[in-house]
Structure 1
């Protein structure tokens, strides 16, 4: 299995000197997801100067062929996981549309950092690498992005809120709600309207809105 490539725009983070060598050694030769070609996809698609929104997940989907290295996202041909199905339901209620499939790469390219707190997982074993030290990368990544300007934080569930506790500043937008999973979505996720709230904040700052539903591409197709 090929070695993962460290994204150059983020290579200065202490994580890649202090923590990554040990994690890479544990991954070497094993069967893990999403694999070396996608493990840093979130960082590759959204370099520090382009980050405008932070959406934090937990770990990659443990079903082979599903995870594509972005939080909550799946490969285009994969049926929507339950949490993502709820995210799209809320999006339709909020802005009237949702993407045509579960691949959220277009969010990442527009400045939404879709980072998991753990970037690797064993097939069929959710959370298997959760205590490997990946969480330090999440905090360092967000802190580095904050150096470029204010950010919108969309923190779904207690785990995401705890993982980034203390990082949001007064100039940042913070949207906290229940997690979109079927177990908790009705406890405050539904009705939270995160997509329109983020866009209102961005536009008030003179920045373009996020095309969450991929409306232009969908219309062109």
Structure 2
């Protein structure tokens, strides 16, 4: 009888399906999955607040300098709308990339005080297991997408000794002080540019302006018309801007031969900074 009673109590306490859990019970997960469980875990992370009660997205910053620099921006009304939009999408069971804990990976892997290079992309990859918070990069074990393959091809002719890797993970670049920044930091699965309207570009424009204002001697790499529209945010007296066609297959013929990578290292040397080791 005691066993039956315990089983009935357990059933009573767990009769709410997982997808209907209270939003306050949600917690973060770093495990990447493509199942319904992954969506639920991202929703849990999105709704969790730390003991300090700070803004949920701001809690994802692990680099203190970035967090301080962007704090005022994250207190603006438009940023609250971003948080609300994501909250509602997770509640609807939408799959969003990158996984919630990785939204600010670009900042956490490239500390503000060590920043040397900024590459600007448009929005995250929108297929399963690709996006992990760094523009143009995919997690290990995933084949490099076409644009990244073209970047590798250019590197192989531009940087002596560069060996084209079999993976597409660019974390090694980020950790050398390279901000791999998408203009939109999230996207709905299989829907390119689906979050371009929610306010992210206002935030990332503020990021670019903050880097331009606070740092000295940063190389900004702007590929394609979209990225090149950000040029007005950058102080050309303090920084170097390198422009070229986008490495997409649609414009790759104009991209090849741009020598952006060697130009970047030459500019860094001129600024008295250590060149990027492009090896992956």
TM-score by length of 2: 0.72
Tell me the SS of whatever aligns to 2:173: helix
CA contact (8 A) 2:126 2:188 kept: yes
Match of residue 82, structure 2, among 5, 20, 23: 23
Match of residue 40, structure 1, among 99, 104, 124: 104
Per-residue CA shift, 1:156-194, capped at 9, x if unaligned?
00000113434242231111111000001112x111101
Tell me the SS of whatever aligns to 2:97: coil
2:237 is the counterpart of 1:178: no
Offset at 1:10? 2.2
Q: Residue 14 of structure 2 corresponds to which residue in structure 1?
A: none
Offset at 1:212? 1.0
For residues 56 and 133 of structure 1, the distance between their equivalents in structure 2, rounded to whole angstroms, comes to: 17
Structure number with higher relative contact order (C-alpha < 8 Å, ≥ 6 residues apart) = 1
Match of residue 65, structure 2, among 9, 20, 24: 9
TM-score by length of 1: 0.91
Unaligned stretches of 5+ in structure 1?
A: 215-221
For residues 108 and 147 of structure 2, the distance between their equivalents in structure 1, rounded to whole angstroms, comes to: 24
Offset at 1:99? 5.5
Q: Residue 267 of structure 2 corresponds to which residue in structure 1?
A: 201
Tell me the SS of whatever aligns to 1:114: strand
For residues 143 and 263 of structure 2, the distance between their equivalents in structure 1, rounded to whole angstroms, comes to: 27
Q: Which stretches of structure 1, 4 residues or more, deviate above 4 A after TM superposition?
A: none
2:139 is the counterpart of 1:83: no
Number of residue equivalences: 213
For residues 233 and 206 of structure 2, the distance between their equivalents in structure 1, rounded to whole angstroms, comes to: 12
Per-residue CA shift, 1:97-123, capped at 9, x if unaligned?
145221011111101110000000010
